[in-house]
Amino acid sequence: MEEKWWMRSVVYQIYPRSFCDSNQDGVGDLNGIRSKIPYLKKLGIDVIWLSPVYESPNADNGYDISNYYAISPEFGTMEEMKSLIRECRESGIRIVMDLVVNHTSDEHAWFLEAKKSEDSPYRDYYIWRKGEAGSPPNDLRACFGGSAWEYSEETGAHYLHLFGVKQPDLNWENDAVRKEIWNMMNYWIDLGIGGFRMDVIDLIGKVPDQGITGNGPMLHTYLQEMNRETFGTKDLLTVGECWGADPEKGRMYSDPARRELSMIFQFEQSMLDEQPGKEKWDLRPLQLRELKQVFTRWQTEMEGHGWNSLFWNNHDLPRIVSRWGDDGVYRVASAKMLATLLHGMKGTPYIYQGEEIGMTNMPFHSFTEFQDIESLNMIQERLEKGYLPEEIMKSLRAKSRDNARTPMQWNSGLQAGFTEGQPWCPVNPNYREINAARALRDQDSIFYYYQKLINLRKTEDILIYGSYELLLPEDENIYAYMRAWQGKKWLIVCNFYKEPVPFSYEGTGRTILSNYKENSRTIQNLNNRNLRPYEAAIYELEM
């Protein structure tokens, strides 16, 4: 595949509300982000994916947009947005905007007009159906619980919302809707952004009357049209959020010959710790072998036909060190192990704010501490169904999106340096131990380990181009794989757990990076070794 700038890039996701508050109103903002450019520069990232900063009533923290051309006043102004884009560019960082176009807010001008009358020119911007005797047209469910159809009194019809009731789905079959979206995307492209992260983009081809939501028949036609009408001739990073993708679908999106997207986010690994066919709240332990199978399928089946994204975290997922690492004694070692495992693979890595300092899940104690619409709906639904409060709490602690949304921990001062005001959401009480200032003072911190991984990607072609081969597929404790490129071989080996485990590889190698200090750049015999708790290393094999 032709090399693109985003193949060598590392993306840093910012959830603006929780990143840095510049004016002490308790909500993170654009000027807060601007003040942290030197920090991001130091980490070495090339791209920021900015979660939505558009005008929004915040039913889903900005994933419900009421005006695509305006910045939400709580985040700042369009002038500040332009300054952020410019200042980042000057530091070699591009900004990828969140594109939320499966739905708008019900407070978007289009919807306000559409719901008034069946004759409104905006009526067909959304999806309306009349059900028998006022009941929903069918039993489609919304991702945040309940029916996907909401009754609207003005016209006695239901509109479709695959997420919250305040997030009506746009009607992509309508040419006028697609034109509006292309215009809006071009507006942002002209402002000099580096690309788009496309929210739940695999839903845009839906056929609600047949119960089809994800991967609908027109999905790829629309994406090809989008590519032609907007970014196709521009050198941008485009990444689609696709919960329902397997590698075959992944190739359809990202094979350059098809002219759709640069890459997608797929979530097969993310569903491994839930009971198959059930909800994310229905927990089961992760099996390392399954994780290896999923990653390996994506690594090998995309080879030459598309491009992977690599991520553990985002604003919708629990913190990885709490989820599959150890957020207690081995927090630092396990965070570095997880980073090694992911960043050693082929694809574009994404880091979610706070991951680089090993931020953990929040120790929630009561239902009143949750703010996310998904959590709140789930609590209500499961209480009504008779689940025990303890069971519900266990699921929320493990999986709620609130975990990832606590304020970024900058220092050990009041409110972790996130704000001098009252934060919109409580700071994790572990901020005195886990914070960026402390990480920056400690040469062995998770922060500097990420910095090294990012640097390697800048200088080592093997990370970009090298083939991937899984070793020890049946091993239940070790994740080991080989990258190979132009006569060079890198062995990446990770002990996924805290028990020491024997590992053996016939050969010798030089340590490129390891989370245990003792390993130096000298030649090591890789035969008959013992991997310490969460030990991870990258070795260049002697050939």
Q: Which residues contact 246 (CB under 8 A, 6 or more apart)?
A: 266, 268
Give 61 or 515: the residue with its C-beta nearer to ligand GLC: 61
First to last CA, the chain: 27
| Complex with ligand GLC: residue 17 or 323, whichever CB lies closer | 17
Give the nearest distance from C-beta 398 to ligand GLC in angstroms.
Answer: 18
What residue 23 binds from ligand GLC, Ca ion, none (CB within 5 to 8 A, per partner kind)? Ca ion
Number of residues that bind ligand GLC (CB under 6 A): 9
Residue of 150, 199, 316, 535 marked catalytic: 199
- Token representation of residue 247: 């590698």
Q: Torsions phi, psi of 149, nearest 5?
A: -115, 135
Quick note: the x/- pattern for ligand GLC over 212-251, rule CB under 6 A, is -----------------------------x----------
CB of 52 to ligand GLC, least distance (A): 9
Residue 63 in contact with ligand GLC, rule: CB under 6 A: yes
Cβ–Cβ < 8 Å for 320, 357: no
Residue 459: Cβ-neighbour burial (10 angstroms; 0-12, 13-18, 19+): exposed
The two tokens of residue 446 are 């998770």
User: Quick check: 316 binds ligand GLC (CB under 6 A)?
Assistant: yes
Q: Does 163 bind ligand GLC (CB under 6 A)?
A: yes
Residue 497 three-state SS? coil
Q: Nearer Cβ to ligand GLC, position 197 or 331? A: 197
Q: Which does 21 bind (CB under 5 to 8 A by kind): ligand GLC, Ca ion, none?
A: Ca ion
**Which residues, listed in sequence order, are joined to residue 463 by a DSSP beta bridge?**
none
User: Choosing among Ca ion, ligand GLC, none, which partner's interface includes residue 127 (Cβ < 5 to 8 Å by kind)?
Assistant: none
One residue of 14, 71, 100, 359 binding ligand GLC per CB under 6 A: 100
Considering the complex, what minimum distance in angstroms separates the CB of residue 199 from ligand GLC? 5
The Cα diameter of the chain in Å comes to: 77
Best CA proximity match to 516, nearest among 321, 357, 333: 333
| Cβ partners under 8 Å of residue 536, min gap 6 | 336, 337, 340, 341, 492, 493, 494, 495, 514, 515
What is d(CA 335, CA 54) in angstroms, rounded to the nearest whole number?
33
Burial class (CB in 10 A: 0-12, 13-18, 19+), 223: buried
User: What is the smallest separation between the CB atom of 350 and Ca ion, expressed in angstroms?
Assistant: 25
Nearer residue to Ca ion within complex by CB, 30 or 43? 30
Shortest distance (Å) from residue 15 CB to ligand GLC = 9
* Residue 200's binding partner out of Ca ion, ligand GLC, none, with CB under 5 to 8 Å set by partner kind: ligand GLC
Residue 100's binding partner out of Ca ion, ligand GLC, none, with CB under 5 to 8 Å set by partner kind: ligand GLC
Least distance CB 187 / ligand GLC (angstroms): 20
What is the smallest separation between the CB atom of 270 and ligand GLC, expressed in angstroms?
11
Residue 68 engages ligand GLC in binding (rule: CB under 6 A): no
**Element at 144 (helix H, strand E):** none
**374 counts as catalytic:** no
Residues 3-32 that bind Ca ion (CB under 5 A): 21, 23, 25, 27, 29
Q: Is 487 exposed, middle or buried (0-12, 13-18, 19+ CB in 10 A)?
A: exposed
Q: CA-CA distance, 102 to 57, in Å (whole number)?
A: 17
174 is a contact residue toward Ca ion (CB under 5 A): no
For Ca ion, the closer of residues 25 and 282 by Cβ is 25
Specify the 3-state DSSP secondary structure of 458: helix
Among 200, 226, 317, 492, binds ligand GLC (CB under 6 A): 200
Please identify which of the residues 64, 241, 268, 540 carries the catalytic annotation: 241
List the one residue out of 251, 256, 284, 278 whose CA is nearest residue 266. Answer: 251
Query: CB 531: neighbour CB atoms within 10 A?
Result: 23
Angstrom distance (rounded) from CA 270 to CA 278: 13
27 binds, among Ca ion, ligand GLC, none (CB under 5 to 8 A by kind): Ca ion
**Among Ca ion, ligand GLC, none, what does residue 172 contact (CB within 5–8 Å per kind)?**
none
Q: Which of 46, 55, 60, 273 binds ligand GLC (CB under 6 A)?
A: 60
Could you tell me the smallest distance in angstroms from the CB atom of residue 315 to ligand GLC? 6
- CA 273 – CA 284 distance, rounded (Å): 5
Q: Does the protein bind ligand GLC through residue 54 (CB under 6 A)? A: no
- 356 near ligand GLC, judged by CB under 6 A: no
Q: Which residues contact 402 (CB under 8 A, 6 or more apart)?
A: 362, 364, 369, 370, 371, 372, 375, 396, 425
Q: What is the CA radius of gyration of the chain?
A: 23
Annotated catalytic, 540? Answer: no
Q: Under the criterion CB under 6 A, does residue 199 sit at the interface with ligand GLC?
A: yes
Least separation in angstroms between CB 395 and ligand GLC: 18
Q: Closest CB to ligand GLC belongs to which residue?
A: 63
Active site residues: 199, 241
Binding residues (CB under 5 A) for Ca ion: these are 21, 23, 25, 27, 29
Binding site for ligand GLC (CB under 6 A): 60, 63, 100, 163, 199-200, 241, 315-316
